[in-house]
Structure 1
């Protein structure tokens, strides 16, 4: 059956494309055609007298339709272009440009027919925009303006629904009511949702019934059975299908999986596996030790299985305690007090286990707790002796005599055997053995004099040993405090460096002194200061007790002069308040100083005075020149001795200057000086006192270049001094004596020898031409030195 169709009216030349879809006229057939009209054309009017027929039609302007996924062998016809100028004479040609022109879409330039040469996919590109033009074949000039039109790819159902977020993981509490939402699944379809049912999806559940269901339109998965128990089954695997075409036959479908896990709720009470337990506990177990562990089982997990344990009954209340272990949820029973088998041999506890977190929905099912009886049997253990007091505190005076009883310690065997006890002191805590203890009685006494200032508290360990079993040893502590007695005199708190200015005025405070005492009287220290009786009447300084354990030193006059006296010593008497009172005399050294206007010392003592007032630069240079002259003189003497051409001793056979070590040995000659040295002799005769006395006011030294420091003469040096002076007198009359370096003579034995002289030299004839007084050559040189410096021989000798 066919029906003729006509296009009403004419369009202006500006209108390029017209797709006329004439549904009512052509029974659903689509006509794709474009009529190009000249600008002068007008819509046709109905002839007079004719009644126009009205037809229901759909007009879609400037658009072609082409079916996607065309699989035919021939090009797919899309539509036709035609211009009113084209009279069929063949002088008009049609040109197509734009998206896909010549590659996807072709046009017959003579007829204007458009074909698709490739398979189209709406999901890749839904429409194409092209431009059409009619040209004169001879001149190639356009006979119509260029027009734009669209070729739309028409959808077919060629894509199945997909779940972009799948597979799904979901959780729902156990025991949830029917219809509880679990998860929402979502499928997408790439087909055109505006055309037909290709993209209309319907959901269904393929696996998971009867536990779960899915809403067909929304994809929401819900529970379908009540009281699903996690403890029976905790996980379900669902398969959800999405089908397009509204679920009708022929539609495409896709699936996804949903793993549903039931989460726990506290719907199970704890339960003990047994109703009674029994454990053995040694009586020697220390406090806080773990005695036993029990556990109630709970099918729930996590926080719903957390336990609380408590003792609700029994004779072990206060002796034991129970606490939950956070990791294992066990009830840990621990000891709170020491056990004694002889006192009580068993305990009974009733322990309750309950859930911490109870779901109100299941509270009506009954109590979420359980109880069990625990019996603890105390085992007898051979225990060491126990002191009646772990720490015994005692005190003793530091003046206590050796053997003074301080106190007594006591220990007992806790076992039924009641073994006798012997006591001893752990010497690792009493290294100096200050104390003794009687083995049988435990009486502690002093073993040495005590000194509180050395050790005020003695911490000693007392050992109690069972006589029947020495391996059982108990330990106790004895804290012995040494009580103070006044046995130390007070002294200056520090070593004061006190000075007084030359410009000081009478009554001026020059120092404030304080004292310390090693003793510690209960009421604290109280010191009294005063000058000694010898110093009380001096005219220089006085002392004022400030009544606060300090005293002030004041001047009694002014006009102090370093030149007259550079140092004053003031003896201060300090008395403590002990019983009996002790005192000490402490000397305060006061230097006289030259001070500036602020009272700051600039120079103190005699030396500073001499350097500032008496010694100029010229004087210092003179002293240095004197020292240099003496050194040159010594070098000159040595040089002259070495330049002598004749031998020092003509008869070498009779030269007995060797150092005699043994009388049957000649020694090593002049080079052997190890046995006896003149330096050692000089050190023996005169000993320098390197330490000046600090309690004697130093004298002002005279200004000379080579005055030696004072020497301390030892008791036995007199005989050597007389011997040397005798040799000096002999040397004065013998100018030809050679200048020997050291005195090596054995003709003098010294005093105090019981055997008198043993030297063979004593038997030599006095008529011998050889002289053994080798010190005699120093006589003329001492005289020359004395004449040069104006001193006697003894001064030169001491200088040398």
Structure 2
């Protein structure tokens, strides 16, 4: 009978995780008479030196499996277990043989003692178990002492694999203004360790970066919105870092991380607005039907379908003479001639144009109305084959820091007459009242005449005129829409005067104020401010600045123990820098008052005492002092009254 062996020495405890045996006697009867089949499932034994008869064969050893931990790193072979036959008398007459998966390569057996050792490092993730066969032979004759039997060595798992996000990094999109708890994406981490044994493969999710905007479910890995009213126009892109930790998140577990790049998709939460409430345009009376008169533009901070515009003429005396259509590429309203014009009949028209979003979201209707109106004055100009512009409309983009005198567009017109008279160019000053531009009289080069400021005027709609030199009455015109592009020319600054207080009993590292900044610029990727102490206060021993990386900063105490009598007010200069090119910065000052507070941090007083009475002065003594002062004042006033009376009496006597 085979019985479990004992551990050989202390170094074998790591290898022998658990040995589970089924042992006992199995009496199997095998009929070997001629033609008698062996019943299925019974052990077949042939004994040629015995007469053919009914034999009872004793199967003396049965076991199920051994367990051994993976990743053993010792220098000696790893002890697995022991095989022993009750026929073994310890005299070396029994020889144990091991065969099957890994025999002789991964596992060896001492043919005398039956001790099994692993001679290679075992990795459960590469192979979870081995099936082997063992046999006991008579060392002298080589004949089997017992039938060959099969057993299993199972590799027991240890936590040697960290969770991995096989599908990361992730990219996700969620609509802006989504309610808190809106599902964004689910991330999944896998752990190669054994999920059926211990907590090695039990993964817990947490968020390392991305708060307070997003949260993650610790069990499912579902990322959800955690902050309400997230505005795409304020911040569009977020980088969220998720950690997966095994061992159920306990100390000592292995962890892996992944990045989730989340984009806020646009919803229609911004109404359109015309940057100009009045447009001045001109059109030649010879302009053909459907020809362009000019363009109007209603700006919408949304994008895509939510920024689409529909322009309509809603009022005015020119509704029957002009039409308006929407350019789907630039979302501008193109005013065109609807019927032939006559300078002699009517010289000008007025249109009231509406720009509206055709795609509305009911939940944002309270932000509306989602339309705006502007007034367009159109002058009809008398023509006698005037110059014609090619093309009939110009759209120019120019940075606001363009140098004065820079040519931003060449305006071209030609005389359709056979004479081909020379053309002289000019700007309709009613369309450029600020005189920001001028045009070269002969070449048509449109140039800047004044510095441009996007923060003041982001759009200019000017009308360029072309006049025949030999016939000034023949004038053509063209509309030029100029979009002023933003450059970083404004430094960030505090939006208001910041004043804070610090308690005398404040501790080091205590938050006393959160500050933010504003910048008139409008960079494409949004504003990103950086905060620090001004150079002159870089080594300030009292306070420090911590940048929150969200365009705000915290002001913290650097020490404890402030005293009003030593210094009642601190002035902390804070450097605010933007992320533009070039970087612009300004210094704002935070005024910090030292206040006395109670134990809960409630302010009691922020003014230092100019004079303090002795602590030991009693109430009775204080009353006595006040009484003396009162008597003294009465005496002074009385004496003064007597002197005045004597003086008056002497004066009266002298008069008599």
What TM-score, normalized by structure 2, do the two folds share? Answer: 0.51
Deviation sequence 1:94-130 (CA, Å, 0-9, x none): 1110111111111111111111111100000011000
Q: SS state of the match for residue 120, structure 2?
A: coil
Rounded to whole Å, the distance in 2 between the matches of 1:168 and 1:125 is 31
Give the equivalent residue in structure 2 for 1:353: 355
Return the match for 2:157 from 152, 155, 158: 155
Rounded to whole Å, the distance in 2 between the matches of 1:313 and 1:273 is 19
Give the equivalent residue in structure 2 for 1:209: 211
Rounded to whole Å, the distance in 1 between the matches of 2:82 and 2:365 is 82
CA contact (8 A) 2:173 2:265 kept: yes
Rounded to whole Å, the distance in 1 between the matches of 2:186 and 2:79 is 45
Rounded to whole Å, the distance in 1 between the matches of 2:20 and 2:181 is 57
Rounded to whole Å, the distance in 2 between the matches of 1:202 and 1:320 is 66
State the shift of 1:382 in Å.
3.0
State the shift of 1:287 in Å.
1.9
Q: 1:133 to 1:284 in 2, by over 3 A?
A: same
Q: 1:32 to 1:331 in 2, by over 3 A?
A: closer
Return the match for 1:373 from 348, 372, 375: 375
Give the equivalent residue in structure 1 for 2:77: 75
Return the match for 2:201 from 199, 202, 208: 199
Match runs of 1:70-149 below 5 Å: 70-149=72-151
CA contact (8 A) 2:5 2:83 kept: no
Rounded to whole Å, the distance in 2 between the matches of 1:139 and 1:212 is 76
Rounded to whole Å, the distance in 1 between the matches of 2:353 and 2:81 is 94
State the shift of 1:364 in Å.
2.2
CA contact (8 A) 1:19 1:64 kept: no
Give the equivalent residue in structure 2 for 1:304: 306
Deviation sequence 1:739-770 (CA, Å, 0-9, x none): xxxxxxxxxxxxxxxxxxxxxxxxxxxxxxxx
Bigger CA drift: 320-329 or 336-345? 336-345
Q: 1:264 to 1:33 in 2, by over 3 A?
A: closer
State the shift of 1:365 in Å.
2.2
State the shift of 1:198 in Å.
0.5
CA contact (8 A) 2:349 2:379 kept: yes
Give the equivalent residue in structure 2 for 1:267: 269
Q: 1:365 to 1:65 in 2, by over 3 A?
A: same
Give the equivalent residue in structure 2 for 1:342: 344
Give the equivalent residue in structure 2 for 1:176: 178
State the shift of 1:92 in Å.
0.9
Q: SS state of the match for residue 131, structure 2?
A: strand
Q: SS state of the match for residue 334, structure 2?
A: strand
* RCO higher in structure (CA 8 A, sep ≥6): 2
Deviation sequence 1:81-101 (CA, Å, 0-9, x none): 111111122211111101111
Give the equivalent residue in structure 2 for 1:188: 190
Give the equivalent residue in structure 1 for 2:335: 333
Q: SS state of the match for residue 66, structure 1?
A: strand
Give the equivalent residue in structure 2 for 1:235: 237
State the shift of 1:33 in Å.
8.1
State the shift of 1:38 in Å.
7.3
Give the equivalent residue in structure 2 for 1:284: 286
Rounded to whole Å, the distance in 1 between the matches of 2:27 and 2:321 is 119
State the shift of 1:306 in Å.
1.1
Q: 1:227 to 1:20 in 2, by over 3 A?
A: farther
Rounded to whole Å, the distance in 2 between the matches of 1:294 and 1:252 is 61
Q: 1:341 to 1:19 in 2, by over 3 A?
A: farther
CA contact (8 A) 1:20 1:31 kept: no
Match runs of 1:581-596 below 5 Å: none
Match runs of 1:611-690 below 5 Å: none
Rounded to whole Å, the distance in 1 between the matches of 2:233 and 2:277 is 24
Q: 1:141 to 1:348 in 2, by over 3 A?
A: same
State the shift of 1:61 in Å.
4.3
Q: SS state of the match for residue 297, structure 1?
A: coil
Give the equivalent residue in structure 1 for 2:320: 318
State the shift of 1:62 in Å.
1.4
Match runs of 1:369-518 below 5 Å: 369-382=371-384
Give the equivalent residue in structure 2 for 1:548: none
Q: SS state of the match for residue 384, structure 2?
A: coil
State the shift of 1:37 in Å.
7.0
Q: SS state of the match for residue 79, structure 2?
A: strand
Q: SS state of the match for residue 302, structure 2?
A: coil
Q: SS state of the match for residue 306, structure 2?
A: helix
Rounded to whole Å, the distance in 2 between the matches of 1:347 and 1:309 is 18
CA contact (8 A) 2:356 2:372 kept: yes
CA contact (8 A) 2:278 2:375 kept: yes
Gaps spanning 5+ residues in structure 2: where? Answer: 8-12, 29-61, 387-470, 475-656
Give the equivalent residue in structure 2 for 1:529: none
Rounded to whole Å, the distance in 2 between the matches of 1:330 and 1:32 is 82
Deviation sequence 1:513-535 (CA, Å, 0-9, x none): xxxxxxxxxxxxxxxxxxxxxxx
CA contact (8 A) 1:211 1:225 kept: yes
Q: 1:86 to 1:357 in 2, by over 3 A?
A: same
Q: 1:17 to 1:278 in 2, by over 3 A?
A: farther
* Structure in which a larger fraction of residues adopt helix: 1
Deviation sequence 1:320-352 (CA, Å, 0-9, x none): 111111111111111122222121111111111
Q: SS state of the match for residue 82, structure 1?
A: coil
Rounded to whole Å, the distance in 2 between the matches of 1:116 and 1:36 is 24
CA contact (8 A) 1:37 1:83 kept: no
Q: SS state of the match for residue 205, structure 2?
A: strand
Q: 1:40 to 1:344 in 2, by over 3 A?
A: closer
Cα RMSD (Å) of the superposition?
2.7
Give the equivalent residue in structure 2 for 1:258: 260
Gaps spanning 5+ residues in structure 1: where? Answer: 1-12, 22-26, 42-59, 385-468, 473-800
Rounded to whole Å, the distance in 1 between the matches of 2:194 and 2:280 is 78
Q: SS state of the match for residue 96, structure 2?
A: strand
Q: 1:366 to 1:294 in 2, by over 3 A?
A: same
CA contact (8 A) 2:271 2:367 kept: no
* Structure in which a larger fraction of residues adopt strand: 2
State the shift of 1:17 in Å.
7.1
Rounded to whole Å, the distance in 2 between the matches of 1:251 and 1:257 is 20
State the shift of 1:192 in Å.
0.6
Match runs of 1:25-44 below 5 Å: 32=19
Rounded to whole Å, the distance in 2 between the matches of 1:329 and 1:310 is 13
Rounded to whole Å, the distance in 1 between the matches of 2:104 and 2:221 is 46
Q: SS state of the match for residue 196, structure 1?
A: coil
What TM-score, normalized by structure 1, do the two folds share? Answer: 0.42
Q: 1:30 to 1:162 in 2, by over 3 A?
A: closer
Rounded to whole Å, the distance in 2 between the matches of 1:134 and 1:30 is 25
Aligned residues: 350
Give the equivalent residue in structure 2 for 1:295: 297
State the shift of 1:366 in Å.
2.4
Q: SS state of the match for residue 163, structure 1?
A: coil
Give the equivalent residue in structure 2 for 1:362: 364
